Amino acid sequence: MIKIEYSPEVAFALAHNKPVVALESTIISHGMPYPKNMQTAYQVEAVVRENGAYPATIAIIDGIPKVGLTETEIKILAKAGKSVTKVSRRDFPVVLAQKSHGATTVAGTMILAEKAGIRIFATGGIGGVHRNGENTLDISADLQELANTSVAVVSAGVKSILDLGLTLEYLETMGVPVWGYETSELPAFFTRESGFRLDCRVDDVNELAQMLKAKWDFGLDGGVLIGNPVPRLYSLNKRDIDAVIQDALVEAQKQGRKGKAITPFLLSKINELTNGKSLDTNIQLVLNNARLAAKLALSLSR
């Protein structure tokens, strides 16, 4: 029997019905360069605490599923970077059996969060249907996890390197609610606007909590995607970032980047092409999502 290990802080919070926010670890290993990734991970945890909840960064360390990491464990993932295996649903058996390190994706984090009884999860942006996905069938496992795993994901929408329209269609088909927090439009990660309208806008955290409770109390399993736009101060110009993304996609195609390798490559290339502006935006949107997720977890716990 493989047991989940909890940090003392998270174990205390869960035992006393305190609000807990799950945090992914792929953003540490694959989302940013060292030491910015480590510093950001510490910052995100601090923001969760400042807003009344307990952070639970999730990963696999030496084959042990961990819900809540120590500062040392975060540093291990940060320094190891892209050599750490990205863990989605299909990857758990190998990483667990080989007793190696694993950084959980949105899907992987949702799985361990649900097993731990954590309902709220803050991330940067979710995966989705890749561009030309109607031909390649390159679709992130995040979407299936949202359909089946009862965790609410607070994100700055869908990563704008993807096909946002097809991603929304897929989520609708799978019955996943997509709600905008203080927005009627799907956030597009680096930008507040995408051009895609949402059916549901919510401007109050307590109302969000009530809606989540109603969904799960009614026996409707599965997650919810809560789109939380990047703060205006850090939102990039849509036309400029769209052009940069197109250039990065062309470069990825030239280099034959596919599957798990494409998203880290594109984010790194975009950071290079924007002279670091996209990384600053990425950090700020993650902190913003952690802030909302903490407030939501606190409201839901009441």
Rounded to an integer, what is the distance from CA 184 to the centroid of its chain?
Answer: 20
CA 108 to CA 21: how far, in whole Å?
15
Q: Which of 234, 273, 281 is nearest to 252 (CA)?
A: 273
The per-residue b/e assignment along 101-125, b for 16 or more CB within 10 angstroms, e otherwise, is bbbbbbbbbbbbbbebebbbbbbbb
Decide if 24 is catalytic: yes
DSSP states along 249-269 = HHHHHHHT--GGGHHHHHHHH
Q: Which of 66, 159, 269, 295 is catalytic?
A: 159
Q: Indicate the residue type of 201.
A: R
DSSP states along 146-173 = HHHS--EEEESBB-TTS-HHHHHHHHHH
Q: Which of 24, 45, 114, 145 is catalytic?
A: 24
Decide if 114 is catalytic: no
Catalytic residues: 24, 159
